[in-house]
Chains A and B, each alone.
Chain A
Amino acid sequence: EIVLTQSPGTLSLSPGERATLSCRASQSLSSSYLAWYQQKPGQAPRLLIYGASSRATGIPDRFSGSGSGTDFTLTISRLEPEDFAVFYCHCYSSSLTFGGGTKVEMK
């Protein structure tokens, strides 16, 4: 079973700053299986990134994903007020694991 560890747990940043979120897998996985989701309070998650680096339809280009093997990164180049949320990485492995999440909060 693949375990996904996200860091940091919380990121305190100001609008306009760059956010870098990490997702580390306990074993190597295919980039095709790695996705990122955003969840705002009281809302369902929303697909942001699929295949580790491809933006889903309608996702602004300030969001980007990268990585391979066991280390993956979600970057938000310049935070907008609406970007503050919790972000989860997910692996479509046999256990369909989610990471524990990173909360991006306004400083």
Chain B
Amino acid sequence: EVQLVESGGGLVQPGGSLRLSCAASGFSFINYWMHWVRQAPGKGLVWVSRINSDGSSTNYADSVKGRFTISRDNAKNTLYLQMNSLRVEDTAVYYCARQGEVWGSYRYTFDYWGQGTLVTVSS
């Protein structure tokens, strides 16, 4: 069974840092691109960042570029999001999501999601 379990969320002051983790199991993690998607309280989904299967290519939403860094450890089946210079508007539930298999029908979708971890940026 595919499982994605996020951790690392919490309360942080503006300007602070936090590192989120997403532990993957039940599938061959090294073969999949992974994403972070966030959702501010009561708001919609917003894509944050993407990393390819070997970690050599990353992309970011303009709103987090230069402040957030996505990475992965394929030996540990874990995805990370390092968040620096946090702002009040970064407050959200952060989901990790698996992109469908590169050559499969779901290749342009997020076919599995974690349950999310809440990040609150407040003084």
Residues of A at under 8 Å CB distance from B? 32-33, 35, 37, 39, 43-47, 50-51, 54, 56, 88, 90, 92, 95-101
A-B contact count (CB 8 A): 55
Question: Looking at the complex, which one of A51, A54, A88 makes contact with B44 (CB distance below 8 Å)?
Answer: A88
Size bracket, chain B contacts: 10 to 19
B114 on the A face (CB < 8 A): yes
A33: chain B residues at CB < 8 Å are 108
Residues 94-118 of B contacting A (Cβ, < 8 Å): 95, 100, 105-106, 108-111, 113-116
Chain B residues near A100: list those with CB within 8 A: 44
From known contacts A44-B95, A44-B114, A44-B115, infer whether A98 and B46 are also in contact, taking CB-CB under 8 Å: yes
B27 to chain A, nearest CB (A): 14
Query: Which residues in A have their C-beta under 8 angstroms from that of B50?
Result: 96
